[in-house]
Structure formats: structure tokens, C-alpha cells
A and B are shown apart, each in its own frame.
Chain A
Amino acid sequence: MADLAELEQKIIGLIATADDLGVLESIRIDALGKKGEISLLLKTLGKMQAEERKTFGAAVNQLKGRINQALATRKTALEDEVLDKRLATETLDVTLPVQADPSHQGRLHPLSQVWEEVTAIFADMGFTIADGPHIETDFYNFTALNIPPHHPARQEHDTFYFAPDAEGNRKVLRTQTSNVQIRTMENQEPPIRIVAPGRTYRCDSDLTHTPQFHQIEALVIDKVTTLGHLKGTLEEFFKAFFEVDDLKIRFRSNHFPFTEISYEVDISYSRVGNKIVIGDGEEWLEILGSGMVHPNVLRNCGLDPDVYQGFAFGMGIDRIAMLKYGIPDLRAFFDADLRWIEHYGFTPFDIPSLAGGLSR
């Protein structure tokens, strides 16, 4: 038994000093291989007495276990050492730049963003979104909207015309999205609650006007809607859109052919430095035209104005985009200048929602 202890000490000593995996392997073979010292000891068991065999066998097996354990421990240590050495040589410059993320390079035009913001608000208020053609007949653009034949709005310095067709009818580029109102009332029974965002055209081109711009028009027709609802709807819309809690709204009597009891609407703002900040303030900004739908318009769409009533309003999407996001020049909207789009545009994951907020 004393031999065993001596043997163990020797092998453990060798294991402890083994400095690479090859040496360790040969130590293992010398000890536990087929002809290893411990294997040979086991072969002597057969010649022993039963009692002796039992105690000696157990001792050798325990020794074998301990050697294996020591070998494994040493092996892990040596492997770790090797790995650590390798890792120590494997360094990369983590500051090298990576390829740009395309979804961070891409941009949505501010008009698209604002279209979605406006849509989210009106959808929550129960409005559906309606579309209509840009090239429109005289009837849908003018006549049905109670604009008489000699009205100044029909003049060529205001409206774009196409050449007359065989019957002498001239189509126009719609001057407002109100054509969608008429098409909706023709095709849908009240109650009606729609907004029609879209592109409109007028013969106007100077510092603050472009021959095309974008409007959103709202129409509510039922049997109960009053001026009070117009006021409430606009107040709620502007607060939600401009993301402010306080905002004053002023209705000034005005005149439009398609509404009777017509109002131009101003919202309050204040000036902070050069910036216009929409919200509670002492100054007024003209923002839209509105009113109760003209009885003639209802009649033109086959609705009885003594039964049905409602309001309509229209405002510039470009304009509210400029106001909300501090964009100075309308003409730049249609310039497709990549520098401008990059600066004023929105990334694809700036998704406006009522739950997450319209803007980031």
C-alpha cells in the first residue's frame, strides 16, 4: 500500500509539472495506458487472495480515479492557457466603422409623414379616407360645389384647363379636393364622415405659392351635426396634431361658395425667437376655411337640405407640415433636393400612431 502512495505522489507530481497537452497525454499513457503502471498493477489482482484482492483492488481503482481527476483538471488548465494565449493575439480594432444601415439612410417626405399623422387622428374620430381624380370635370370641381359660371375662381388665372373635348367640355385640374365630397355624397348614403387628403392645383407661382399643393378636406353629413361639432372637431384635431394641450381657435365669418355660414379659422401661436410655436399665445395664424355645407351643394348631390346637414373644412397639408416641423419654404417641397429630404424627412421607423405618439 505504501507503494501506491508513492506511485500516486510521483504521478500527481508529474501531472502538476506537465506544461503541454502532449506531455500530459504521455503521462496518462504511462499511468493508465494498456501498459501503464496502474494498469499493470490491476493485472496483478488475479494472483491475489480474495480478501487482499478486494482491498487492493479498491485502492487501485480509487487511485485511478484520482489520477483521472488530476489529469482532467490539468488538461482544462492547459487548454485554458493555450486559448488565453491565442486570444491574446486575436485583437480587432473595434472602432473601425461598419456599413451604414439602409433603414437609417432612407427618408420619407414630410408630406407623407404628415399625411399619416392626420389620417391617424381623423381615423380615430371615425372619418374614412376618400380619394378622387386629379383631372376633373367642370361639374365636380365647380358646378356641383355651387360655383356659378362667372365666378372668378373659374378664371384661367386661377384654374388649369385642358383643351375642350369633342362636345366642347373642358376638364380642369382640381382646384380643391372638394370634388371628393361630391363623389362621396353621390355614392354613399348619410351619415357620412370622410376626409379627403390629396393634391390640388392652381395657377399660382411665387415666393409662397406653388402651382400644386396638398389639401385635406373633411365632410360630415347627417341629421344632427352643427357648428358646435365643427368647433369641437377642429379644436380636438389641432390639439392632437400640434401635440399641445392649450390652443385657442378663432372663427372669423367668411364666404365660400360651397358653405353657408362660412368661417375662416385661426389658431393661436406665439413667437419664440424666429420660430412660430403653435399653442397658447397672443397671435393668430390663418389655417383653414370651413362652414356648414351649402344647401345647394346638398341638393346637387340629391340630399334634402331640410333633412340633412353637416360641415366641411379644408386646409393645406403642406402648410400644417411647415408649421409643425418648422420648414421655411413651400417650393422646396417639390424640388427633390436630396439634402433637403435628408434633413426634413423622416426615417422609416418614425411611424406615427395615437398609441405611440405622432412624432418621436
Chain B
Amino acid sequence: MKFTLSWLKDYLDTDASLVQICDILTDIGLEVEELVDNGALLAPFTVGYVTDAIQHPNADKLRLCTVDIGDGESMQVVCGAPNARAGIKVVFAREGLTIPSNGMLLKPTEIRGVKSCGMICSEREMGMSDEHDGIIELPENSVVGEPFAPIFGIDDPMIEIAITPNRPDCLGVYGIARDLAAAGLGKLKTDAAKIIPIKGSFKSDVDIELNFDEVSNSACKQFAGRLIKNVENRPSPKWLQQRLIAIGLRPISALVDITNYVSYDRCRPLHVYDADKISGNIIARMGKQGETYKALDGKDYSANETTCVIADSERVLGFGGVMGGDYSGSQLDTKNIFLESAYFDPIAIAITGRQSGIQSDARYRNERGIDTQSCIEGVEMATKLVLDWCATDNTLVSDVVIAGDAPIRGKQVEFPITEVKRLSSLDVPKPRMISILLDLGFTVADKGDILMVDAPEWRPDIHGKQDLVEEIVRIYGFEQVKSTPLERLDTVAKPVLTPIQKKVATSRRLLASRGMKEAVTYSFIPQDQAALFNGGGKELILENPISVEMSTMRPSLLPNLLAASQRNAGRGIADQAMFEVGQIFQGAENADQKLAATGFRRGTAKLAGQGRNWQGSSQKVDLYDAKADAIAMLNGIGEQAERFQCVADAPSYFHPGRSGTLRLGPKNIIAHFGEIHPRILKAYGINEVIVAFEIILNAIPLPKKKTIGKAALNLSNLLNVKRDLAFIVDENVEAIKLLNAVIGADKKQISGVTLFDVYQGTNIGDGKKSLAVEFSIKQSEKTLNDEELTIIMGKVVAKVEKTTGGKLVGSLK
């Protein structure tokens, strides 16, 4: 909402400075977004007197003017304007100034061999109009050397404020003045805003019909109009034109400018029809499929059953309360007019506006909810202005035609005055509460501890007690509220993170400590990529995505990480280790929205180092790097990774033979790891190995009970005995089976099983491999003798043979 300071002062009697006004506006919720102080901006452009104007020696159309600019200074200016001549007062711009309308910086210059200092300006250059045929001629009594802007009244500062959707009343200058007056910034000039009804002299030939069926009976509640005959449309007064230009509107003609003026002055949108273009009565109704009209913006629009139109017996004249039509709009030669001032249902306006896409000042106001009681006032105010500016000797004004009844919001609130303190902590004296409400236009009946408060019809946002507290605090001033810390619940704050929040926080730091960098990527990905990762069900596809690249909720964090990896590779980063901890979407239900911790390694980005090194260059990453990451992460968040089963099985986006799963039983999958499937990598343009892991944090069961203490530590004075054994097994026997067999041979005494060698070669036979393990035998009570040790190792050999078919290499002796 834009307005100028002088416009505001039409209704606000104040001595406050521009800065004070702006500060208060912002405080009371009418946030100043822009302040253009035209007076200050135009101040350097001053009055000059052309003492002499002679023909330019080298150009027919140019004149050489000598300009007296005050203080005894004279400037020589080359000027091409046809009206440049001696004896006139002009607007002079010195060198070094910038022309406001086109940003041109005035530099010392020579025109056709003659020095020219500064510029004599046109209206267009000063942003006053499009006029550029000649230079501005100022009145004779203008004072040389003084700023020129006040002469035209264009030194008026322009203020733009942001209006929140609940305050349509401040989409009119009068409403803003009311708020400022209530905030103590001056006195509201109610008299200046008074509207005196004008009596009609005949009955309008045009009548108004509201044709709505039962269902949509609400689109236009009240429609007031008036026929005015024999007017002469002319340019509107200069002061109005300047105000409209200042707020960014183009003056068109008095009739059009009047509608804009009233709209901005009182938040009372109007429309003026050329009455000679209306066939029969004016009808407000819902549109019909197939109806179209050309609007004032020159574009064609289609109506339908959900849009409210204004029509006559032949055609649609416009979308009611949104934008009128080109055909029936007023022109400079319009003689007879019909005024429209109506109250439309805000929701109906919103629907029409949204469907048509029309953004207009009328829609903006009507869809937020204007003063329900303003229809007739609007007609009367417009009539007065038409008579002031467009009247002829034969002008005739009809009676006001009214169709429908203005709805009454009529909100009455029973307001216990204690509410103010209860919610705001402020001690506002009751008389102050009452005066604030009265200043804002509320009606107040004092019933002691309770006020009966009636909201004015221009305040659709008042529903209950809390709204009134807001009004009082808003005007009383928030700076009065005393800052109060929340009461501490516990002297020492209690821990607050949930187990999963702790896991998220720990896993980030843990993965970062393994040299990985954390990415945060978008939750939505291209649909085809979601499909590659077995996701992207119908319920996860956005209906209105930003782009196809961001259309589907991600089923895994890998698609974005792989795409990012390839982007980073394109930047010359070959060795990469990255992770993300974030939301994945296996469905749209709450339980399907899970947290995953996912990471990958590429190139030689191993834990121990990457790239070339004099102590030995790093090897390419392999699936065991990813497995190590997964296990480290699980250990880091307090799990014992060895309790998870490790199986050679993973989703289809992993390499079928080089990937695995960690799980707690067949149904409870905790993590996957391995090489990404080459076909998937190809989709990202990657043709080298990438290994990755993904852990579903929600899948990890929560501990049933938190135990803080640890079991007692029993240390034996006796050393463990270390023994090595090697077995030859079939090559498809999984190592884990053999390791489990070793430890399972005597769980009490065997621990620390380490696989230290894997060997394949023709000397042990095709299809075989040798696995060598080291393990510890515990001596808890006494030193074991050779015989006892041999018995334990015998158990190991037997168990391994039984579960894996493995044969001991060598013998126990």
C-alpha cells in the first residue's frame, strides 16, 4: 500500500516528523517497506532564469542559453527544446547530478564544439509526466536558486507499507490515519472525511439485478449504483495526478482516476461504466461456461460457474470486484456514466481472482474484506468528485440504485479487562484501554471489569477477546512489555534428546571423524532416479513440483549423493568420502518417513588416507571400506555391531556379488553396504567403483531400559594363550561361518578370533581356499597344560569341520 505524506495529512493533523511517522507505522504493524523522499531527491534541481538564448553557432536546432542559477552564478547550457528562450524560468540541473527518471549522470560536456554545463529539464526527466517536447517553464514568481519541486507539489514523500491480510482497512489512507491517530501521533480529521449525500433528480434508467441461485447466493451481497448524465471526461486535477504518479499509478482521465483515488483513499473499490454501452439492466451473477470478455488490461478472460461476473442483457461486462471490461469502460468521450460500488463475498473474489490470475487493486481489497457498509458512501463520494471535475451545465444525477443488503459483521465481544494482563503482562489502565478502542473505531460499553465491545464494520479480523488484547497492546506499545525469563524447570537442565536424535547427532560426528564430509541435499529427486532406487510410488510424487528434477520424494539418500559425487568429480575431485543423515520416504504414512545415515567412498578415499603418499599410495576403495564405515557407525551409536547378522544380500541398486546386509533377523534390516551396481552408476555417468553404506536409523531397536552401571570387571592374573590354526574349505564357504565355528567350539574359553589370512592357489586345489585364524584361550583359574590346550583346539577343529567341512592344515601336535 503506497501513499504520500500530504495525502496522509488530509486526514491526520500532526506535527510529527516523517521519521516518527514511519517508526510508529512499523511498530503498530504497518511495516514501512519503502520511503521515497521526493523532496530530498529533487532538492538539488533548482529554479534558473534564462537571461539570454542565442543560436548555436554549429547547429540549427540548438540554442545556447545563459542561465542565472542564483547567488550571482551563471551557466552556459546548450538546449534543444523548441521553447528554450530568454526570459523564462526553468528547472536547472548542475553537473554531477543524476536525472531521476533515467539515471543519467550529468558530466561536463561539449555539444558541437560548445561547452555545456548542466541541463535544463523536461517534465519527463523530472519524473512528472511523459512530456518531453519541451523544457518545463516555471511561473514567473519562482525564486531563482530554490528547489523547484514544491512549486508543483511533487516534493511529497511517498511511503509504502506492507499490509498484513487481516487489515484491509489500512488499504485506504483514511484507515492508516486512524491507526496513527490512535497511536498518539495526531488527530484524525473526521470532518475532512465526511461524505455529504447528493440528492438525485431522476430515477436511473439502468436498474441492478442480483441473480444468484441458492447455492452461490453469496457472491455479491450488495450493489449500489447511480446514473450520471452529460458529463465531460477530462484530465483530473494536477494534484491528484501527482499523487497517483507518486504511488505508481498512471493518471488516465478524471473518471478513471476517481475510481483509483477512492480505492486508495477509503479502501472503497469502484467502477465506472459508460452508460451508453450498457444494454438493459446491470446484472451480477455467476458466469457461464463459454462466456468471455476483454478486460481493462487488454487481455481476454473466460468465465465459468465459479466466477462472479457483472453483465448486462447482452454480454459480460467484467469480473465483479476484480476487473471491469474494456468495452463498457469509460473513455475520454464518455458522456453518460453508471457508477458501481458493491460488496462482494471475499471468498468469491478470491476464487475469481485465482482462476483468472488477475491482480488488481480492486481484487486485492475485495478479497481481504472491505467495509461492509461502504457501498452507498462510495457512490456518494464518487458522485461528488464527478460533479467537481467533470460537470457540464447539463449534468444530471439520478437517485442511488441499491440491490441487496449489506451484510453486518456485527461482532460483539465481552471483554474482561484482566485479559490484557493475563496474556501480555502489561498493566494498562482501563481508561487507556477504552480510549484505544474508541480511537480505533470500536464502540465500548463500560460494565466495570468487563467491557462490551462492538467491532467496526471495517475490521473483519476481530473475532474475540484475544484480538482486542492485540489491538490494545499494539497501540499501547510493545516496548512497555517487561522482558521476563521463563522460570527454570530444573536447576540443572535435564537431558532432552530422544534416542533417535542422539543417534543422528552421534552418527554425524562419527562419520565426519572418519574423514567423510556431510552433505545436506534436497528431499525431492527426479522420478526416474527414485525408480532406480525402488521408490517413487504414486503417493510420493508431487502434483506441483518446482521442476521435474524435484518431483519425487527420495527413497534413499544415495541418488542425490551419487549425483553430487559426479558433480564434484567434474570439479576435479577424484577421491571423495561423503555422507548425509536425513529423511527418506518409503511411503507417505508417518511410519514410512524414516531417518537414514548414508555415505559413500570413491577413488582412493580410504579411512587411512587417500591419494599418493611416499609411505605407500592408497588403493582403490572396496566394499570392505563401506562395511567398516557401517560397523563403525553402529558401534559409535552404542550398538554392538557383532550382534547383527551379516548376509550377502542387498537391494538391486547394489552390485549383486559385492554387497551385503546387516540385520537382526530376516525382517529387520539395519544396513546395506557394498559396491553400487554399475548399471545404476551408468545412469549418473559414473564408470568407476563407488562403495556405499546406508543405515536405517529407525530400524535399530531401542534399548528396553537404560542401564548406567557396568558389570564388575574380573581380571585374571594368568595370560591368555594365543594359538593359530589354518583350515582348507570350499571357496564358497563364508568366512563368518568358520569364525562362528571357532568361537562356538568353546564359548567360555575362546575369544579374540582374528582371521589373518585368506589364500587361494593351485597347491591347495581348485575351488578351495585356506583361512587362517588366530584366537585366544582364556586361563581363568590355572595355567593350562599342553594336554588341556590340545583338547580345546581339538574341539575347534571338530566344530569347524562339522559346520564348514574345513580340514585342518597340518596337525595339532
Contacts and interface: CB of A to CB of B under 8 A. Distances in A.
Interface in A199-231: 199, 201, 203, 205, 211-212, 220, 225-229, 231
Given A123-B493, A127-B496, A111 B31 contact: no
Contact of A109 (B479, B520, B567): B520
B481 A160 contact: no
A294 B593 contact: no
Contacts of A264: 31
Interface in B464-502: 464-467, 469-470, 473-474, 478-479, 481-486, 488-490, 493-498, 500-501
B518 A235 contact: no
A125 B590 CA distance: 29
Contacts of A262: 470
Given A99-B615, A171-B588, A334 B485 contact: no
Contacts of B351: 150
A128 B578 CA distance: 30
B466 A228 contact: no
B523 A199 contact: yes
A134 interface: yes
B520 A333 contact: yes
Given A103-B512, A103-B513, A232 B466 contact: no
A29 interface: no
A119 B495 CA distance: 11
A20 interface: no
Nearest to B349: A150
A57 interface: no
Contacts of A339: 571, 573
Nearest to A266: B26
B544 interface: yes
Interface stretch (A62-70, A80-88, A251-259): A251-259
B221 interface: no
A336 B560 contact: yes
B594 to A, nearest CB: 10
Nearest to A160: B542
Interface stretch (A11-19, A40-48, A162-170, A274-282): A162-170
Interface in A12-53: none
Given A99-B615, A226-B425, A345-B517, A255 B164 contact: yes
Instruction: Report, as a range, how many residues of chain B touch the other chain.
Output: 35 or more
A112 B581 CA distance: 10
Contact of A173 (B350, B354, B542, B567): B542
A126 B509 CA distance: 25
Interface stretch (B311-319, B605-613, B654-662): B605-613
A205 B524 CA distance: 14
B466 A292 contact: yes
A336 B567 contact: yes
B30 to A, nearest CB: 8
A2 interface: no
Contacts of A123: 493, 495-497
Interface in A323-339: 333-339
A253 B27 contact: yes
A227 B478 CA distance: 9
Nearest to A318: B520
Contacts of B347: 150
A193 interface: yes
Contacts of B516: 106
Contacts of B756: none
A131 interface: yes
Interface residues of A, number: 86
B564 interface: yes
A214 B424 CA distance: 29
Interface in A111-144: 111-112, 116, 119, 122-129, 131, 133-135
Given A99-B613, A338-B568, A253 B523 contact: no
A235 to B, nearest CB: 6
A257 to B, nearest CB: 9
Contacts of A102: 513-515, 607-609
B345 to A, nearest CB: 10
Contacts of B610: 100
Interface string B424-467: 11100000000000000000000000000000000001001111
B31 A252 contact: yes
Contacts of B543: 156, 160-163, 170
Interface in B547-574: 550, 553, 560-561, 564, 567-568, 571, 573
A226 B517 CA distance: 43
A261 B610 CA distance: 57
Given A126-B490, A334-B522, A99 B609 contact: yes
Nearest to B610: A100
Interface string B1-45: 000000000000000000000000011110100000000000000
A341 interface: yes
Nearest to B607: A102
A61 interface: no
B675 to A, nearest CB: 21
Given A96-B614, A106-B515, A336 B29 contact: no
Contacts of A127: 496
A338 B483 contact: no
B485 A260 contact: no
A201 B550 CA distance: 12
Could you say which of B481, B488, B567 has the most chain A C-beta atoms within 10 Å of its C-beta? B481
B481 A108 contact: no
Nearest to B162: A254
A134 B540 CA distance: 12
Could you say which of B466, B485, B564 has the most chain A C-beta atoms within 10 Å of its C-beta? B466
A308 to B, nearest CB: 11
Given A99-B613, A108-B512, A134-B593, A255 B167 contact: yes
B545 A133 contact: no
A263 interface: yes
A155 interface: yes
A341 B519 CA distance: 7
Given A252-B29, A264-B31, A342 B517 contact: yes
A357 interface: no
A91 interface: no
A350 to B, nearest CB: 9
B564 to A, nearest CB: 3
A225 B481 CA distance: 13
A231 B484 contact: yes
B508 interface: yes
Contacts of B546: 203, 205, 211
Contact of B466 (A97, A294, A341): A294
B518 A345 contact: yes
Given A126-B493, A155-B354, A163 B539 contact: yes
B464 A203 contact: no
B425 A228 contact: yes
Contacts of B520: 109, 111-112, 333-334, 336
Given A161-B542, A341-B517, A255 B166 contact: yes
Nearest to A236: B485
Interface string A228-245: 110111011000000000
Given A150-B350, A228-B481, A341-B578, 18 more contacts: A102-B609, A105-B517, A106-B511, A106-B512, A106-B515, A133-B590, A162-B540, A193-B489, A211-B524, A211-B550, A212-B524, A255-B164, A260-B470, A261-B469, A336-B520, A338-B578, A339-B573, A348-B510
9 contacts: A116-B505, A129-B496, A162-B539, A171-B539, A228-B424, A233-B486, A261-B466, A309-B423, A334-B521
Interface of A: 96-97, 99-100, 102-103, 105-109, 111-112, 116, 119, 122-129, 131, 133-135, 150, 152, 155-156, 160-163, 165, 170-171, 173, 193, 199, 201, 203, 205, 211-212, 220, 225-229, 231-233, 235-236, 251-255, 260-264, 292, 294-295, 305, 309, 333-339, 341-342, 345, 347-349, 351
Sorted from nearest, which 7 A-B pairs have the closest CB atoms? A253-B29, A102-B515, A106-B512, A336-B564, A255-B164, A336-B519, A228-B425
